[in-house]
Structure 1
């Protein structure tokens, strides 16, 4: 295919995973737009500050600088890991597409394949996520937790070298990087170990005043079922006013025409659990047929997204009634 017209500038973090994710979107956007797409590397605070994510403020630590660059015209669109985005709308910006989701599960990596529940007392597990810490300790209270930052390769190397006994990573990141490792992988089932809202999904963000041709091209990358599912998940997180690094797991997915939702809020060490869930049928306001390229417009319009938000808010309300507010640090308005 011959590409014509001015290049579209796609802003991305410079990490290997971010560049890989953005590269996938760039190629898809070239296909639907007929224009070349170039990657513009942008350094965020989360890339330069090596402190714990929870101490850095969690929500938006990777997104703030990228969004500043987009508003300033340094690029035309951004690709984010959706789980890292705050749930509040960003003034002047819009998530124009959520492409089809990858594997949303977490994976525990060990040297010998010992299941998480059977790791020895005092075994050192590395993760910087309060949710993953709580889930790991709930599965095996005798573990010791080590706060962990760094890229995928450096994290895995610490297990290979024996510094850590296990780490927890997102399956989607391993898949997108096509990771090869001698470590043994234990995927955690989503019904028992729901992951971060939006995990495995990407968000393609642009300015509200972006040219119509660009908005239309980006919209063709949207996957209707992914958008509905992640809207439910993020509405749960928003409804309990918890940030994206709070000890909250929530996952929504389709099985046939049924939308299954599971949400859980954990105590810091997994000692408490508040949970809720639902199984919804298409006649309750959800799409019968998925598909890519037209997003919610082809799935019945914005009313489907509104319905998804309502369902997520309802689950959040029930979680709060059952005591979830005692387990999370509520987000303060910015």
Structure 2
């Protein structure tokens, strides 16, 4: 029979494949073995690092496809280039004796690594090699290099590099052993897992061919490669992460050197373990590495929906997190608390439509713990109350990763309480029983309904809205009184919270009529009757939010999200200037200052009308007054260079005084009024020009609410305060004396004081979230 062997077309790949061809031809003269050259994507792209184009798998995909299709019978690869498992339908045969697995240095003039000049330039295409070289010699300059052996040697001469790093196996197979300057021992340079070994890949159903190839198996190499590749697989290594593993036989068994790091090399770990079993060697090495590398994973309960219900400890940790892996129903406000650059990963589950399976979430937590110092798993309610947090904690512990649980407020008590229902009450309920209403097959859980029906405890069913009819029928069937009070609380702790109260035999129909939706908590028991005594009469007053422009106010939305009644009142409207910007004048500018979102929008409109774009800003330093302006700038793809630690015109002035000098040309992009302090501070020290981008025009108030209906009034600029109090008429003095006014910052506060307002609460910083907390303070 004729067997076709697939190979890449490089000289080294062909030498390796011809070696296999000759061994097979000699052992099986009754068959013929023919080589077919296959060009892979990795061969076609030689000018980019592997991790930028997809990794080592790019050298095998096309060959694997031809094996699967039956066009060729087998593929010959370098085992170190292979993923931990082959493509579906393919298998690796047993490993043959490998060539020298060491890495080597080829130096242009020096004779040893220690003899290289300070700052010498060494080229390699491997992060693993780069980071280990820098561990030995931190002064080295490491640059990237791609191409076959001949190409790399030529580049070394042409670019006058001090040296390159290659694998000894490849050089020996090419007959180029004489170019090696220094062999690197595993204690200095841990080689890639399975380096020097060949991977022979065939279809899973080709049993006869597998037997033919397995004849050449080398048991010692098999054990070594098994330990190395098991280590890589358990660590979840890829071309993006530096990973090394070198196992070698000793008199007592085997020793395994291993290393692993993150993408930028800021975290690296090394270990050396001994043993006789390859699998156990790999497991031990993985545990040792993870103990050194892993950050902390915090399982934090976010509470049942209201961002204010997270614990103080949970919120403080959240602010420090490098990565947050979060569930459905986590409020955006909590994610907004994270620091800049924090990675957010959504893994929510809804009605059995899972973004990720639980097993994948477990793996993700372990993976991110190796990448970051602080990983937060943010879960609704409490992590251990039907939240599968226990499974995550056990998985992390099994993988040597430290995990800390920060408890949260569970909806099993919070939903009832927020509806005015105590789950326990003296003389009515001795305790409460909490269950989840469905099992993993989405069937009603197998409860002891007979015990429940006779219980003197409050019954709380979580995640049970779709099972409500089954729950009530089973309780009635087992003897519970049909008139037992039942409440269903939907979307607890949110603005959408609804409570439906009825009896055991009527609750299902009433919930259908009122169209309650998930998530919902079902409360069964006499404590439900207490709701009428505890629940306060509905508050009909609202918070008045003034705004510029006709767009919905973000502050109003935050208040609504927290269950507050809100009325918006427009006090002004923005009109933008469309003056042309001279490209020649802009070229001279060194700093652009923005103190409002309108300044940013206006500048971008003028840029567009002047036929300019972001390329004309490449050499400018961009300055913003605070985070809100910074966020608006980000919408245009621009990251601010400078921002004062605390927002405000005075702080901005002090920052700019330290930055600019007489040669600097500064454009202050602003509205038609304001900014006098900044201009006054900068005029003596630099060339500052006010560029008017917009006007904030007064708007006649369409409808002034009655004071008795208002709990507070918020102002996001001084002009809104002035216009509001100028137009409220006869009741002005009563508003001034009785209604709390929320101010966004010092200029607005100053205006309110000039008006004579008695109760002013100024936000801690110039953000809507900060204003929201001041509004909450006004409610106390």
TM class by shorter chain equals: 0.7 to 0.9
Q: CA deviation at 1:184?
A: 5.1
Counterpart in the other structure of 1:322: 292
Matched, 1:264 2:259: yes
Q: CA deviation at 1:272?
A: 4.9
1:245 to 1:270, Cα distance in 2 relative to 1, 3 A: closer
Instruction: Judge conservation of contact 2:75–2:201 (CA < 8 Å) in 1.
Output: yes
Counterpart in the other structure of 1:80: 77
Counterpart in the other structure of 1:53: 50
More deviation in 308-317 or 66-75? 308-317
Count of matched residue positions in the alignment of Structure 1 and Structure 2 = 297
Q: CA deviation at 1:328?
A: 5.8
| RMSD over aligned Cα atoms | 2.1
CA distance in 2 between counterparts of 1:39 and 1:206 reads: 15
**Segments of 4+ in structure 1 off by > 3 A?**
266-273, 324-329
Measured against aligned partners, the alpha-carbon deviations of 1:105-163 in whole angstroms (never above 9, x if no partner) come to 00110122332233223322111101011011111111112210111011112223453
More deviation in 77-86 or 242-251? 242-251
Instruction: Judge conservation of contact 1:135–1:266 (CA < 8 Å) in 2.
Output: no
More deviation in 149-158 or 309-318? 309-318
Instruction: Judge conservation of contact 1:252–1:262 (CA < 8 Å) in 2.
Output: yes
More deviation in 320-329 or 114-123? 320-329
Q: CA deviation at 1:74?
A: 1.6
Measured against aligned partners, the alpha-carbon deviations of 1:202-242 in whole angstroms (never above 9, x if no partner) come to 111100011x3322111112111111111111111111111
Measured against aligned partners, the alpha-carbon deviations of 1:151-187 in whole angstroms (never above 9, x if no partner) come to 1011112223453110000000000000166x55111
- 1:311 aligns with one of 278, 281, 302: 281
TM alignment of 1:220-231, pairs within 5 A:
220-231=215-226
CA distance in 2 between counterparts of 1:46 and 1:70 reads: 18
CA distance in 2 between counterparts of 1:180 and 1:187 reads: 11
Instruction: Judge conservation of contact 1:251–1:262 (CA < 8 Å) in 2.
Output: yes
Instruction: Judge conservation of contact 2:124–2:144 (CA < 8 Å) in 1.
Output: yes
Matched, 1:158 2:128: no
CA distance in 2 between counterparts of 1:143 and 1:315 reads: 29
Instruction: Judge conservation of contact 1:247–1:268 (CA < 8 Å) in 2.
Output: yes
Instruction: Judge conservation of contact 1:113–1:184 (CA < 8 Å) in 2.
Output: no
Q: Secondary structure of the equivalent of 2:93?
A: strand
Unaligned runs of 5+ in 2: 295-366, 373-780
CA distance in 2 between counterparts of 1:65 and 1:8 reads: 18
TM alignment of 1:88-167, pairs within 5 A:
88-167=85-164
Counterpart in the other structure of 2:243: 248
Instruction: Judge conservation of contact 2:136–2:188 (CA < 8 Å) in 1.
Output: no
- 1:7 aligns with one of 2, 9, 21: 2
Q: TM-score, normalised by structure 1?
A: 0.83
1:82 to 1:311, Cα distance in 2 relative to 1, 3 A: same
CA distance in 2 between counterparts of 1:244 and 1:173 reads: 19
Measured against aligned partners, the alpha-carbon deviations of 1:76-132 in whole angstroms (never above 9, x if no partner) come to 011110000011342111111311011000011012233223322332211110101
- 1:39 aligns with one of 21, 30, 35: 35
CA distance in 1 between counterparts of 2:87 and 2:227 reads: 18
Instruction: Judge conservation of contact 2:99–2:197 (CA < 8 Å) in 1.
Output: yes
CA distance in 1 between counterparts of 2:240 and 2:25 reads: 33
1:179 to 1:270, Cα distance in 2 relative to 1, 3 A: same
Taking CA–CA contacts closer than 8 Å with sequence separation of 6 or more, which of the two structures ends up with the larger relative contact order?
1
Q: TM-score, normalised by structure 2?
A: 0.37
Q: Secondary structure of the equivalent of 1:236?
A: helix
CA distance in 2 between counterparts of 1:184 and 1:226 reads: 24
Counterpart in the other structure of 2:556: none
Counterpart in the other structure of 1:278: 273
CA distance in 1 between counterparts of 2:49 and 2:150 reads: 18
CA distance in 2 between counterparts of 1:174 and 1:129 reads: 17
Q: Answer with 1 or 2: which has the greater Rg.
A: 2
